[in-house]
């Protein structure tokens, strides 16, 4: 009755109840509808239900409730197979929901769309071909259903444009929304029909595809026009996508032309420009597959790309255009069009794999007329940072390709002379490419009023830095910041394919590549290395090579083993063949990012197709010779926000020719050095000149080092004409501590290195002459100097010039100011270098000056900073340098230091002893940086002095040791524990009377029971089922090899003086420990992978933790008479022999 009654429609009652705003029965009704639907429902009722659903979701008053109802019904009946007529009704319902966008929830819309595709696929499956006659009833129904969906979408589009009467009841907003949904849905329908698409399109518009396209195009133009304000980007893009799809589907009758493309650009208002450009990126792509063709022929596509790029370029280069308005989509479109159009015109090599949107770009310029290069420069340099990244990649890669193309053009003669053909794609671009100059583009902006925007300036400098770095391999000279030799380093050099042929190569961080390779070849000759030139050598080593042997021991912890230097060819005789194709020959190891102790392989093959630059200066070379560019960078150094970026540029290009010439001219005119380096000159130009001076004094280039006569002459003039004194004013004037960290980092390093070189060489040369004179008087021969010397020793004349030029007391005062910089919580690399070199210079001054002179100087010594550095500095180099300085002061024996407590000069060991004792009291227990501190403390204990009162010092050490309660398992963090134990041992050794003190026996117990032989919980019997704490919490305090050895040494010193009481305590402790040999039951033994608490075969002692160290101690103590006597006093019970064992013994005797 309910299903088939002609007067009563149960479906209507149920749907009305479900969507009633007040009844709240939607869940119950939905369950009932699902039960009815999936059982034996009639087709009539089901068709009625679909119609009712459609009315519910189309009516505003019931749309929300109706949508919820239908979504639930869809979800629970998804697996139901409908008959054809019902499928048609269901599809129409889903179409209505999609076009009217019945739900604002995107997830709901996607659910409906997914079901629509599913049902459409079922309908599509009934139709194999689009025929006008001979179709079965099912096929005809499927055809009509598909055609209805497509036509209804088109009607919606047409109606919104033409404002047909049936749409008058809808608001403008609803019309635009329905049109947007229809355009998207029509594209989906056309995609789903697959091979039936041409027939469907033809029948949709009665054989007039242009008319259909016109409808879509007209609606698009109306939507994007100024008449409509409420169309969002997504809505417009759906229309554009439909237009593109129709143009592709209707090939070759597509009317899409360059004119249409241009019209779309013109008709879209400004706020929709990004959407149109996004669509252009799709529609204009020449690399789309055969199945997707938008233009009737390729010429139209090229013309369209050219028109759009021209329009876009005109827009961007307009005065006042804001690049932020272009957006990400617009920027991507610009970059793609730039590539496509220049490929179309033949300016770029036509390589589909070339991609300007990633860092792995590979562009080859083969023509000299580039389209829109200036536009790309604007996009890269003037866009906001969030939009400019991809533009930067493109601009940098194209600029690099332009330089290489110009270089190849200039090398055409070289190819001909070597009877080689240039690359087949190369079309000899002329010097016309020189007009596309990124260097000029950047500096034009830097010299313009726009340079007032500091954010833009930093962006321009960043792009410039990347550009210069890309082409640095073609520089004619090393970078300005790398001309001095830098720090010493050692490379593990691998020759040929034999890993065993690893050699130590002594170089500096600023050694030029060609010089390093020349040294490598020389080393090969001297060592007789077997160079294999028949095959490439190992070029990339991530791990320590197998068979490296002793070479690996030189590796510095934390330093990786890295790649090859750069290509070079080595002949069988060991002589290098530096062909002019050697890339980066003038770059330094620092520029190539080669680190100390890395494994480096010399490769025996080279890039044969790439010629070195002889005729075309690199961008860095051009910059260094352009005074206007250099002056601009120096102006930017005066601004705190751009200072660092500008200085970075100056460091990475060769030294400015004008600055080099001025410094060379100064050697001939006495007043010039003071003029260039004195306080009247600009601060940054003084620092820049100081770096040039450093490169003259300590050149990195092997050629410069070889000209020793010229170097000596220049050095003497520099010192004699006031250069050293003028340079010294950079750190002697003003408050160094008030400078910005970057300014200190950039300026202090070169100044202190020059002072160190001159002062240390001067003092050492004087000491050498005095030592030589003393040797001559004693007739002992020349011998070798007792003190270390620098690589370049000054003559007596040069040494005297330095002494006359600077006051040593003032030098020390200035160096002390530099050392105080080390008190900062964080130090840059330049600051570390400056502080380290200042301390090293002080060390040499301590070595080479007389005690009276030092007594005057030392009153300003920043002892507090030095002690803090030796304990807290994260830089190992600084800690070691401070340790060396203190060692020199302590070892001399009669130096005086200022005691800040009372302001009196006192012996150095007393002042330092009190300082170090105070620091020891507050020293954290776990510190990886205390090794140098305790080394010096032990030295102070050995020297002694009024500061040292043995009993109280031992009390301090003991109280510090008692603070250790748990094992110190980290070998890098137990430097305090090891230092305490070693210092204690040294104190006991030099003060043996301490062994008789009342607390010595307690100390022996503490060291033995807690630090050495304390059993971890897992080594003792445990109640069944319990889990003891791990050994890292309960075992002996001394957990590392070094700490165990240290505590053994301290125990030995406490008992090595034949102290019977201490030996007795130790003997009893050892006996008690050795007696713990009863093993727990098997089920009570907890074996842990990290603990050696396992059962071993007898005889012998069970290895409970540190038994091996006890054995070592026993062997040492056996040499002590008192210990042996105590051992013999220990009562030993006689073993009880069983009857069975006695019987076996008797049998053995008889045999």
Task: Identify the CATH number of the domain in which residue 500 sits.
Answer: 3.10.20
Which of 260-274, 350-364, 1076-1090 is least confident?
Answer: 1076-1090
- Average pLDDT score over residue span 221-241: 65
Asked which of 85-89, 171-175, 565-569 is least confident by mean pLDDT, the reply is 565-569
User: What percentage of the chain reaches a pLDDT higher than 70?
Assistant: 74
Cβ atoms within 10 Å of 355's Cβ, excluding its own: 18
In this prediction, residues 978-982 reach a mean pLDDT of 92
Handedness of CA 78, 83, 89, 91 (dihedral sign): positive
Is the per-residue pLDDT at 484 higher than 90? no
In this structure, of 555-569, 918-932, 1061-1075, the range with the lowest mean pLDDT score is 555-569
DSSP class of residue 606 equals: -
**DSSP tag of 1008:** I
Alpha-helical segments (H) within 806-930: 808-820, 829-848, 851-857, 863-872, 876-892, 908-921
Q: Is it the case that residue 1023 has pLDDT exceeding 80?
A: no
For residues 64-93, give the mean pLDDT.
80
Predicted TM-score (pTM) of the model is 0.71
Q: For 984-993, 1032-1041, 1136-1145, which range has the lowest pLDDT when averaged over its residues?
A: 1136-1145
Of the candidate ranges 368-382, 805-819, 920-934, 1123-1137, the one whose mean pLDDT is the lowest = 1123-1137
List of residues 6+ apart from 444 with CB closer than 8 A: none
The pairing of beta strand 502-508 with beta strand 488-494: antiparallel
Task: pLDDT band for 464, please (50, 70, 90 cuts).
Answer: very high
**Cβ within 8 Å of residue 27, ≥6 positions away:** none
- The structure tokens listed for 707 are 């000209």
Q: Over the Cα atoms of the chain, what is R_g?
A: 44
Predicted pLDDT of residue 666: 83
Helix H or strand E segment including 506: strand 502-508
365 phi/psi in degrees, rounded to 5? -85, 125
Domain boundary among 601, 617, 639: 601
Which helix H or strand E contains 494, and what residues bound it? strand 488-494
Q: Is residue 1119 one of the residues assigned to a domain?
A: yes
Q: Hey, what are 4's tokens?
A: 């088939």
Which residue stretches of 606-740 are H helix?
619-625, 627-636, 643-652, 657-666, 670-677, 683-697, 702-706, 708-720, 723-732
Domain boundary (581, 601, 621) is at 601
Q: What is the pLDDT of residue 1030?
A: 66
> What pLDDT does residue 855 have?
74
Spatial contact of 727 and 677, defined as CB atoms under 8 Å apart: yes
**Tokens describing residue 466:** 């990347």
Instruction: Count the residues in the chain.
Output: 1151
pLDDT at site 653: 93
Q: In this prediction, what percent of the chain has a pLDDT beyond 90?
A: 9
CB 363 within 8 A of CB 354: yes
Residue 845 near residue 855 (C-beta atoms within 8 A) = no
Apex CA 34: angle with CA 28 and CA 39, to 5°?
Answer: 130
Which H or E run includes 898? Answer: strand 896-899
pLDDT given at position 766:
66
The answer as to whether 36 is a domain residue is no
pLDDT at 1024: 56
Least confident of 310-314, 485-489, 722-726, 1139-1143: 1139-1143
Residue with the bigger pLDDT between 61 and 230: it is 61
Tell which residue, 771, 770, 763, 754, has the closest CA to residue 798: 763
- The answer to whether 799 touches 761, Cβ cutoff 8 Å, is yes
What confidence score (pLDDT) does residue 789 get? 41
- Mean of the pLDDT values across residues 608-626? 71
Beta bridge partners of 583: none
pLDDT of 163 strictly over 50: yes
**Using CA atoms, how far apart are residues 854 and 811, in angstroms rounded to an integer?**
12
Q: What span, in angstroms and rounded, lies between the C-alpha atoms of 326 and 1085?
A: 73
pLDDT tens digits for 125-137? 888 887 777 788 8
**Would 58 be classed as within a structural domain?**
no
Q: Quick check: bond before 229 cis, omega within 30?
A: no
Helix (H, G, I), strand (E, B) or coil at 1042: helix
* Residue 659 to residues 310, 711, 712, Cα–Cα distance (Å): 44, 18, 21
Q: What is the pLDDT of residue 562?
A: 32
3-state secondary structure of 701: coil
Q: Give the separation between CA 207 and CA 226, rounded to whole angstroms.
A: 33
Give the residues across from 488 on adjacent strands.
Answer: 508
Task: Give the β-pairing of 576-577 and 502-508.
Answer: unpaired
Give dist(CA 1102, CA 1082) in Å, integer.
14
Measured between alpha carbons, how far is 800 from 185 in angstroms, rounded to an integer?
93
Which tokens is 702 given? 């092997």
* pLDDT beyond 50 at 322: yes
Q: Which of 541, 530, 461 is nearest to 497 (CA)?
A: 530
pLDDT of residue 655: 93
- Compare 422 and 731 and report the one with higher pLDDT: 731
Instruction: Check pLDDT > 90 for residue 275.
Output: no
Residue 494: what pLDDT? 66
Is the pLDDT assigned to residue 461 strictly greater than 90? yes
| Report for 5-14, 249-258, 754-763: range of highest mean pLDDT | 754-763
Q: How far apart are CA 343 and CA 286, in angstroms?
A: 10
Question: Where residue 451 falls among pLDDT bands split at 50, 70, 90?
Answer: confident
Q: How confident is the model at residue 390 (pLDDT cuts 50, 70, 90)?
A: confident
Q: Which of 683, 751, 769, 669 is nearest to 718 (CA)?
A: 669
Euclidean distance between CA atoms 1147 and 1142, whole angstroms:
9
Query: According to the model, what pLDDT value does residue 373 have?
Result: 92
Cis amide bond preceding 252, omega within 30: yes
* DSSP designation for 348: B
* Residue 560: per-residue pLDDT: 34
Domains held by the chain: number: 2
Tell whether 681 is covered by a domain: no
Kindly give, in sequence order, each residue whose CB lies less than 8 Å from that of residue 859, ignoring residues fewer than 6 positions away.
898, 905
Residue 963 has pLDDT above 60, yes or no: yes
Is 358 within the bounds of a domain?
no
**Model confidence at 89: pLDDT above 60:** yes
> Domain residues for 579?
480-601
Using 50, 70 and 90 to split pLDDT, how confident is the model at 167? low
pLDDT above 80: residue 440: yes
Report the C-alpha gap between 658 and 46 in whole angstroms.
Answer: 93
Give backbone dihedrals phi and psi of 232, rounded to 5 degrees, phi first. Answer: -85, 175
Tell me, yes or no, whether 677 lies in a domain: no
Distance CA 482, CA 410 (A): 29
Q: What is the mean pLDDT of the chain?
A: 75
Q: Tokens for 417, please give them.
A: 């002379």
As a whole number, mean pLDDT of residues 135-145 equals: 84
Among 128, 242, 121, 118, residue whose Cα is nearest residue 180: 242
Q: Please state, as a whole number, how many other Cβ atoms lie within 10 Å of the Cβ of residue 448.
A: 9
**What is the dihedral sign for C-alpha 515, 517, 520, 525?**
negative
Contact predicate 96/149, CB 8 Å: no
pLDDT greater at residue 111 or residue 526: 111
Q: Is 66 helix (H, G, I), strand (E, B) or coil?
A: helix
- Name 348's bridge partners: 365
Top-ranked range on mean pLDDT: pick from 62-71, 316-325, 520-529, 741-750: 741-750
Is the pLDDT at 532 greater than 60, yes or no?
Answer: no
Place 1140 in a pLDDT band, splitting at 50, 70 and 90. low
Compute the CA torsion angle 272, 274, 275, 280 (nearest 10 deg): 130
pLDDT recorded at residue 1082: 44
Q: How confident is the model at residue 410 (pLDDT cuts 50, 70, 90)?
A: low
**For residue 980, what pLDDT band results from cuts at 50, 70 and 90?**
very high
Question: Does 1127 reside within a domain?
Answer: yes
> Quick one: pLDDT at residue 527?
65
**Which of the listed residues 583, 601, 619 is the one where a domain comes to its end?**
601
Confidence of residue 573 (pLDDT cuts 50, 70, 90): very low
**Which tens digit of pLDDT belongs to each residue from 872-886?**
888 888 888 888 888
Task: Indicate if the pLDDT at residue 67 is higher than 60.
Answer: yes
928 belongs to a structural domain: no
pLDDT confidence of 537, banded at 50, 70, 90?
very low
Q: Residues near 705 by Cβ (< 8 Å), separated by ≥ 6?
A: 699, 711
> In sequence order, which residues have a C-beta less than 8 Å from that of residue 453 and are 6 or more positions away?
none
Tokens at 189, concatenated: 């329908």
pLDDT digits (tens, 9 = 90+) for 701-730: 777 666 677 778 888 888 888 888 888 888
Q: How far is CA 117 from the centre of its chain?
A: 47
Whole-angstrom distance, CA of residue 453 vs CA of residue 450: 6
Scored b (16 or more CB within 10 A) or e, 413-438 reads: ebbeeeeeebeeebbebeeebeebbb
Whether the predicted pLDDT of 584 surpasses 70: no
What's the pLDDT score for residue 851?
Answer: 73
């Amino acid at each position: 009755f309910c299903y088939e009654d002609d007067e009563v429609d149960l479906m209507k009652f149920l749907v009305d109840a479900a969507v009633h705003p007040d009844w709240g029965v939607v869940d119950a009704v939905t369950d009932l509808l699902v039960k009815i639907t999936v059982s034996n429902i009639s087709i009539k009722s089901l068709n009625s239900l679909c119609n009712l659903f459609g009315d519910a979701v189309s009516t505003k008053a019931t749309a929300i409730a109706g949508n919820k109802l239908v979504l639930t019904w869809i979800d629970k009946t998804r697996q139901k197979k409908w008959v054809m007529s019902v499928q048609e009704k269901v599809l129409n319902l889903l179409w209505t929901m999609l076009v009217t966008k019945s739900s604002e929830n995107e997830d709901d819309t996607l659910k409906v769309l997914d079901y629509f595709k599913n049902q459409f696929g079922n309908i599509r499956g009934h139709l194999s071909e689009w025929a006008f006659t001979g179709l079965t009833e099912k096929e005809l129904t499927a055809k009509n259903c598909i055609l209805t969906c497509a036509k209804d979408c088109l009607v919606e589009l047409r109606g919104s444009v033409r404002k047909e009467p049936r749409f008058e009841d809808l608001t403008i907003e609803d019309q635009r929304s329905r049109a947007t949904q229809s355009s998207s849905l029509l594209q989906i329908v056309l995609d789903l029909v697959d091979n039936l698409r041409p027939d469907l399109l033809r029948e949709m518009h009665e054989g007039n595809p242009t008319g259909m396209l016109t409808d879509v195009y007209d609606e698009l133009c109306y939507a994007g026009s100024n008449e409509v304000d409420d169309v969002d980007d997504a809505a417009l893009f759906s229309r554009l996508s439909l237009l593109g799809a129709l143009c592709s589907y209707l090939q070759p009758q597509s009317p899409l032309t360059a004119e249409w493309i241009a019209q779309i650009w013109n008709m879209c208002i400004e706020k929709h420009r990004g959407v149109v450009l996004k669509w252009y990126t799709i529609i204009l792509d020449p690399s789309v597959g055969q199945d997707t063709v938008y233009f009737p022929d390729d010429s139209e596509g090229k013309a369209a790309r050219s028109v759009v790029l021209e329009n876009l370029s005109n827009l961007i280069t307009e005065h006042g255009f804001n690049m932020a308005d272009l957006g990400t989509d617009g920027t991507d479109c610009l970059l793609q069009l730039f590539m496509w159009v220049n490929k179309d015109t033949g300016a770029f090599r036509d390589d589909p794999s070339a991609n300007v949107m990633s860092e792995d770009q590979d562009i080859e310029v083969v023509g000299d007329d580039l389209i829109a290069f200036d536009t790309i420069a604007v996009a890269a340099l003037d866009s906001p940072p969030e939009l400019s990244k991809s533009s930067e990649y493109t601009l940098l890669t194209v600029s690099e390709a332009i330089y290489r193309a110009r270089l190849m053009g200039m090398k055409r003669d070289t190819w001909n002379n070597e009877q080689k053909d240039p690359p087949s794609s190369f079309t000899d671009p002329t010097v016309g490419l020189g007009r596309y100059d990124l260097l000029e583009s950047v500096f034009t902006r830097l010299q313009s009023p726009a340079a007032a925007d500091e954010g833009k300036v930093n962006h321009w400098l960043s792009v410039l830095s990347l550009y210069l770095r890309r082409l640095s391999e073609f520089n004619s000279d090393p970078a300005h910041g790398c001309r001095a030799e830098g720090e010493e380093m050692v490379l593990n050099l691998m020759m040929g394919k034999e890993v065993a042929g690893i050699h130590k190569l002594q170089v500096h961080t600023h050694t030029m590549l060609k010089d390093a390779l020349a040294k490598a070849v020389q080393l090969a000759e001297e060592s007789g290395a077997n160079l294999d030139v028949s095959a490439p050598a190992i070029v990339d080593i991530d791990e320590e090579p197998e068979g490296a042997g002793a070479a690996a021991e030189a590796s510095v912890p934390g330093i990786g083993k890295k790649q090859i230097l750069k290509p070079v060819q080595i002949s069988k005789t060991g002589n290098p063949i530096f062909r002019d194709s050697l890339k980066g020959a003038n770059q330094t190891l620092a520029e190539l990012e080669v680190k100390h102790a890395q494994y480096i392989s010399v490769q025996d093959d080279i890039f044969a197709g790439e010629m070195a630059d002889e005729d075309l200066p690199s961008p860095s070379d051009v910059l260094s010779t352009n005074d206007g560019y250099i002056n601009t960078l120096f102006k930017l150094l005066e601004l705190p926000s751009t200072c660092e970026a500008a200085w970075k540029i100056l460091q990475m290009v060769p030294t400015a020719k004008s600055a080099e010439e001025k410094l060379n001219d100064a050697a001939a005119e006495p007043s010039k050095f003071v003029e260039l380096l004195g306080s009247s000159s600009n601060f940054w130009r003084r620092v820049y000149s100081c770096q040039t001076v450093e490169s003259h004094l300590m050149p990195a280039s092997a050629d410069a080092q070889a000209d020793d006569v010229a170097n000596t002459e220049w050095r003497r003039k520099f010192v004699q004409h006031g250069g050293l004194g003028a340079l010294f004013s950079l750190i002697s004037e003003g408050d160094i501590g008030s400078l910005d960290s970057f300014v200190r980092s950039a300026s202090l390093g070169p100044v202190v290195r020059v002072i160190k070189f001159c002062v240390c060489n001067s003092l050492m040369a004087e000491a050498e002459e005095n030592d030589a004179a003393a040797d001559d008087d004693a007739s002992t021969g020349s011998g070798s100097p007792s003190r270390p010397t620098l690589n370049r020793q000054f003559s007596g004349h040069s040494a005297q010039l330095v002494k006359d030029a600077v006051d040593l007391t003032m030098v020390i005062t200035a160096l002390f100011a530099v050392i105080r910089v080390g008190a900062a919580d964080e130090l840059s690399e330049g600051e570390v270098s400056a502080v380290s070199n200042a301390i090293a210079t002080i060390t040499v001054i301590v070595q080479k000056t007389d005690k009276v002179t030092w007594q005057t100087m030392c009153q300003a010594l920043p002892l507090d900073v030095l002690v803090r550095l030796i304990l807290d500095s994260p830089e190992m180099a600084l800690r070691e340098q401070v340790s060396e300085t203190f060692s020199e002061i302590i070892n001399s024996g009669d130096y005086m230091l200022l005691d800040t407590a009372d302001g009196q000069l006192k012996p150095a060991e007393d002042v330092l002893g009190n300082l170090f004792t105070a620091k020891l009291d507050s020293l954290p227990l776990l510190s990886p940086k205390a090794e140098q501190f305790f080394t010096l403390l032990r030295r102070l204990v050995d020297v002694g002095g009024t500061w040292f009162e043995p009993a109280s010092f031992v009390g301090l050490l003991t109280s510090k040791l008692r603070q250790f309660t748990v094992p110190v398992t980290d070998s890098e963090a137990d430097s305090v524990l090891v230092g305490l134990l070693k210092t204690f041992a040294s104190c006991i050794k030099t003060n043996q009377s301490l062994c008789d003190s009342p607390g010595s026996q307690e100390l022996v117990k503490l060291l033995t029971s807690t630090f050495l032989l304390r059993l971890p919980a897992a080594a003792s019997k445990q109640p069944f089922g319990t889990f003891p704490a791990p050994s890292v919490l309960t075992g002996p305090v001394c957990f590392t090899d070094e700490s165990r050895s240290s505590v053994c040494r301290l125990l030995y010193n406490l008992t090595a003086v034949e102290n019977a009481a201490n030996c007795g305590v130790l003997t009893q402790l050892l006996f008690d420990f050795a007696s713990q040999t009863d093993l727990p039951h098997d089920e009570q033994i907890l074996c842990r992978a990290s603990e050696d608490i396992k059962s071993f075969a007898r005889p012998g002692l069970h290895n409970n933790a540190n038994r091996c160290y006890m054995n070592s101690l026993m062997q040492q103590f056996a040499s002590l008479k008192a210990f042996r006597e105590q051992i013999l006093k220990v009562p030993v019970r006689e073993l009880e022999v069983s009857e069975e064992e006695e019987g076996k013994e008797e049998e053995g005797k008889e045999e």
